[in-house]
Structure 1
Amino acid sequence: MEIVYVYVKKRSEFGRQCNFSDRLGETNVDIQPDPSQASNFIERDPIDAAIQCASDMSEHEVNTERFEMENQGVNHLEGGWPKDVNPLEMEQTIRFRKKVEKDENYVYTIIQLGSLMEHCIKQNNAINIYEEYFEDEETADVADEPPSAKTISVFRDPNLIKRTATHLSWHPDGSKKLAVAYSSLEFQRSSKDMSYESYIWDLENPNKPELVLRPSSPLVSLEYNPKDSHILVGGCYNGQIAYWDTRKGGQPVELSTVEFSHRDPVYGTIWLQSKTGTDCFSASTDGQVLWWDIRKLTEPIETLVMDISRKGVLENALGAIALEFEPTMPTKFMVGTEQGMVITCNRKAKTPAEKIVGTYSGHHGPIYALARNPFFPKNFLTVGDWTARIWSEDCKESSIMWTKYHMAYLTDGCWSTIRPAVFFTSKMDGTLDIWDFLFKQNNPSLSVKVCDEPLFSLRLQDTGRFIGCGSKLGTVTLLEVSSGLCTLQRNEKNLATAVSVSCCKWPRGPGCASCHSPLAGDPGPRALALSCPLCLSDV
């Protein structure tokens, strides 16, 4: 536990100004030559000398030991009281203080301590002449730079029979590694010779994976533990949950039993915030959300059936494809279903019926991506069918923004970790779209043709500069976006908040003029693209 107390004080309220002035040079050390050493030198004849216009410079290298830092906490308790004085009794402590203050040595001791404390305070108020006092207020002005993205590296599935890169997970410490889950999601298309292996790639070595993970069934989802970067949890195609410790090799440390696991592929596994760092939960198209402790995977800790009628009937449950959990909202989580519906849940509710809080409907097919905005957790992104939608918990009727209906199916999406108005979507035609709804609403700010085969998975690095794209043939392409897409713009948070609030308050419209279908809302500035979801005509 790290215990820190931060003292904040304005720069103008302490210290003294540094005044520099010119002065003449002075000699500190003068080492005279030793005449006795002259006999050790031999004149060389002839001499070849190369002459250059530039002056010769000496080269020197030194290796220093790496400084190791550690955090330590100290609990400060009030002490120094005599045994006959109870520090919890106010009357006894006041009586003892009055007695001590009357002592002759009390004033002398205070004067000595005062001079010592004054010295420490002066040390804290010393000026750092190299400190940048206005560094936080400076924001890069990159509005004139056109958005762009370039390919950094490509990681290919080393097997002959290619599989889909179904899920990506960045290493939590430094993001120098990328874990990729490989599986064939096409029904009854897997062959006997198809490999079950998934890989951990080192970004500096794209030719060979750093570690090979060998599950009992192909992995559909794979996640690093944010508290322990050596631990990974994965959801298998046959419904089992497994976890790995990279220090122990590629074999799973423990595997859940088949009878207590999911009945369908595990499309989502997420780590929970806990003291032990061993708790996680998973979702599958069998209509269940299961909570696990990886120290004991024999059976789940808790089970929730995705039955929106709140009767807990597994036959009526909606299949879960996308799973979302925000650590800043530890009691809430959301599930994206095969039926195009988002289910909001409360884990801390007393009964299973109370755990299902509400639903959001707006997609015509499965929801493949579900993510909260890291800056505004009440706003979340859903990706399904041919469009991406942005929702707000303050607006239950419909989504507050949506993209146009594309010709190609959308497969995944995520928010930028640096800019609150930027999000990414991938499509079946191999295109990566980058949206900035403060800059352009009707079309993406940048569309990048990553590969010829369909893209199936996306994952953005924490720095917001690098994004990994997994394809149907197992190729993971690492892209670097331009600085304008990963640098916070001036007043961007306030502008994004204003757009969200105005979209929530926009009045609902009558319907589509072509097919007369009731629209989710008025096609004003609240929509990213203006098209009817049924007839696809412009509104």
Structure 2
Amino acid sequence: MDLTFPYEKKRSEFGKQCMFNDRGPELIDSCPSSLRVSVDFIRRNPVNTGVQNSKIQAEHEINTYRAEYSNALMNHVEGGWPKDVNIADEEQTKRYRRKVEKDESYAHIMQQLCKNMENCILQNNAINIYQQYYTDVEPTPLTEPCTARTVNVFQDQSSLKRPVTNMSWSPDGGSRVIVCHCNLVYQANIQSKHHHSYVWELENPNTPQMILNPPTQSVCIEYNQKDQNSLVSGQYNGQVAVWDVRRGNEPVDFSVMECSHRDPVNSILWINSKSGTEFFSGSTDGTLKWWDTRKMKDPLETLILDASKSEEQSISNALGCSILEYEHTIPTRFMVGTENGYVISCNRKGKAPNEKMMARYHTHYGPVLALQRNAAFVKNFLTVGDWTARIWSEDCKESAIMWTSYHKARLSDGAWSPTRYSVFYTARSDGILDVWDLLQDQHAATIGVKISDEPLTKLKTNEGGRLICVGNQIGTTYIIEFSDNLSYSNKNDKALLTAIFERETRREKILEARNREIRLKQRTARSSTQLAEEQVDTDDTSFEDPNVVAAEQEFFAIIERETKVEEEEEEEEEEGQENLELLQGFDTEDEVKP
């Protein structure tokens, strides 16, 4: 097949058109010879002179034949294969391809073909497709704008509107989402008919696919990522329930009340195990419990969140659990967010309680409402609490490496994007969902979406990256879809984000080292002062603290200086008064003399 490239050009660009016609020679002018003019000429010897307007070139002709080449393609289905190769047999064709690729001349032939193809590609790219040829048309922006749209809205089917406390996406690609509602107001009067949780299909927002009917309110619920029919939920009364949607809308099994939590179960997560039936739960009673769905009578293990250094753990010193975090790539590690603002990094393989609770971070002044590790940088985790969101590194325990400014509205939840590692979301109590992209702006949200007029309570990201589920205070759930530039990473994003995290981590390490040095100097000064006090005899009353002496000297020096200033001002006032009296006396005498 020949590749032709027509080039078009206007006729006016070729120059003036030549007009030819058939006509004979015409005599324009004639100059006859005159003998009178010959007198003015000087005769000389004959000279032959040749005059030529252009370079002299020799004429040479050789009869040759020009080689004509034509580019042609070959369709192997139509007979390009050898006769001994059966094109219907896939194994024979693959074997023949491998044989041809191993030939020494294969690389040389491909290089020659690539040159011809490269020439065509370069000609194709010679035209700038982004060039603006018309001035009356606005240029198209090259960067995609950040956008978000609401896909579906799910309403609470109960007459009593309850807040959304947790959501979970189904593991089959997110075709369904389960939403649980719970009123966590202390001693709220909730009837049994208002305990329902709903399984919604994304394509059907009118009626739920299934209504789960627990005996008490469900605070949290999670899908098993290995089995889309299995669920576990944490109840308001401290129990944990196991569900199988194939067996109806009632729980399959419950934990025994005596072995359950004493407070509502705030968080529940599945863990990696060979059987795929193990999970753990956390509550504000200060305990974590590991369970197996095949044996719900007793927990497999119980951990008391007593962060003190005492050998025996006490439930009276335990910290209440507000949120749990578990990364499946680190099977033995997990993190716990507490009610008093601490995040505890734990290791399940530890033998002693101090070994199980390895590190503690003071993240917020109030409860930790959200806690999640970054999918690509597991050392960095996000926390949300109070009025701010913070990004921490496990290498820096004293302060966060990055944080947002304090918002006017309280933050209620946050999460990382599972596909674009530099993006995280925060939900606010004024109904706005903020999207932060660290590669675009680290001081302000990239986009803020007004979801509803009611406070947002919970959000959950889909593993696909584009969808996010957001719940509010009156039980309404929104499915939000974001644009591609907020959902998917580019090839350089991971390297750029790595540089940002490393730079901020180094900066915080330098500040921590500086703070430790200052604290060490203060402790050394205090210890030297105490040592000097111990060396002085108790009967010697002349000993005084050098800091106190310095402070007294400075105090009396200031008093003396201020006293001198006041005396000088008084002297100036007295002199001014005397001068004024003298002037008044002179005026009186002048008046009396006449």
TM-score when normalising by structure 1: 0.69
| 1:243-392 superposed matches below 5 A | 243-310=242-309, 311-392=312-393
1:177 matched residue in structure 2: 176
2:379, 2:177 → 1: CA distance? 29
Distance in structure 2 (CA, Å) of the matches to 1:424 and 1:262: 31
Partner of 1:433: 434
Are the structure 2 counterparts of residues 253 and 435 from structure 1 closer, same or farther at C-alpha, using a change threshold of 3 Å? same
Q: State whether structure 2 residue 24 is matched by structure 1 residue 21.
A: no
In structure 2, stretches of 5+ residues that fail to align are 1-70, 79-90, 102-140, 515-594
Letter in 2 for 1:508: L
User: Does the CA contact (< 8 Å) of 2:192 and 2:215 recur in 1?
Assistant: no
State the Cα distance separating 1:451 from its structure 2 match: 0.5
Deviation at 1:144, TM superposition (A): 1.5
Q: Encode CA deviations 1:394-451: one digit per residue, 9 max, x unaligned.
A: 2122110000000111111100011111000101111100000110111100111101
- What is residue 466 of structure 1 aligned with on the other side? 467
Aligned length: 389
Q: Which residue identity is paired with 2:366?
A: G
Q: Is the 8 A contact 2:261 2:283 kept in 1?
A: yes
The amino acid across from 2:379 in the alignment is K
Q: 3-state DSSP class of the match of 1:501?
A: helix
Measured in 2, the distance between the counterparts of 1:473 and 1:387 equals 24
- Secondary structure at the residue paired with 1:503? helix
Q: Which has the larger radius of gyration?
A: 2
In the aligned structure 1, how far is the partner of 2:207 from the partner of 2:466?
24
Of 508, 522, 526 in structure 1, the residue corresponding to residue 511 of structure 2 is 508
Is contact 1:468–1:476 with CA below 8 Å preserved after alignment?
A: yes
| CA distances 1:57-80 after superposition (whole Å, capped 9, x unpaired) | xxxxxxxxxxxxxxxxxxxxxxxx
CA spacing shift, 1:21–1:401, aligned 2, 3 Å: same
**Aligned-residue offset at 1:296:** 1.1
* Alpha-carbon distance in structure 1 between the residues aligned to 2:228 and 2:305: 31
CA distance in 1, matches of 2:193, 2:247: 25
Q: How far has the Cα of 1:505 moved from its partner?
A: 1.0
Cα distance in 2 for partners of 1:299, 1:200 equals 29
SS at match of 2:481: strand
Alpha-carbon distance in 2 for matches of 1:415, 1:124: 46
Structure 1 unaligned blocks of 5 or more:
1-18, 27-116, 128-141, 512-539
Identity, in percent, stands at 47
- Distance in 1, Cα, partners of 2:456 & 2:172: 26
Question: C-alpha distance in 1, partners of 2:358/2:192?
Answer: 45
Residue deviations 1:214-262, cap 9 Å, x none?
A: 1121111100000111000000011100011010010000001111001
Change (3 A) 1:388 1:125: farther
Query: How far off is 1:489 after superposition?
Result: 2.2
What is the deviation of 1:123? 6.2
Give me the whole-angstrom Cα distance separating, in 1, the residues matched to 2:100 and 2:248: 51
For the 8 Å contact 1:414–1:424, the answer to whether it is kept is yes
Secondary structure of the residue aligned to 1:500 is helix
What amino acid does structure 1 have at the position aligned with 2:446? S
Partner letter of residue 278 of structure 1? Answer: T
Inter-CA distance 231–126: structure 2 relative to 1 (3 Å threshold)? farther
Q: Secondary structure at the match of 2:468?
A: strand
The AA in structure 1 aligned to 2:511 is: R
For residues 96 and 418 of structure 2, the distance between their equivalents in structure 1, rounded to whole angstroms, comes to: 40
SS in 2 for 1:496: helix
Aligned-residue CA RMSD (Å): 2.4
For the pair 1:192 / 2:191, whether they are aligned, the reply is: yes
Structure with larger RCO (C-alpha < 8 A, sep 6+): 1
- Change in Cα spacing, 1:304 to 1:204, as seen in structure 2 (3 Å) is same
AA matched with 2:357: I
State the distance in 2 between where 1:439 and 1:361 align: 28
Q: How far did 1:510 drift?
A: 12
> Partner of 2:423 in structure 1?
422
Q: Give the Å deviation of 1:125.
A: 7.7
C-alpha distance in 2 between matches for 1:383 and 1:435: 13
- The structure where helix makes up a greater share of residues is 2
Q: Answer whether contact 1:161 1:194 (CA < 8 A) is retained.
A: no
1:126–1:153 distance in 2 versus 1, CA, 3 Å: farther
Which SS does the other structure have where 1:200 is aligned? strand
1:131 aligns to what? none
Contact in 1 for aligned 2:173/2:464 (Cα 8 Å): no
1:189 deviates by 2.6
Confirm whether residue 221 of structure 1 aligns to residue 224 of structure 2: no
Aligned to 1:487: 488
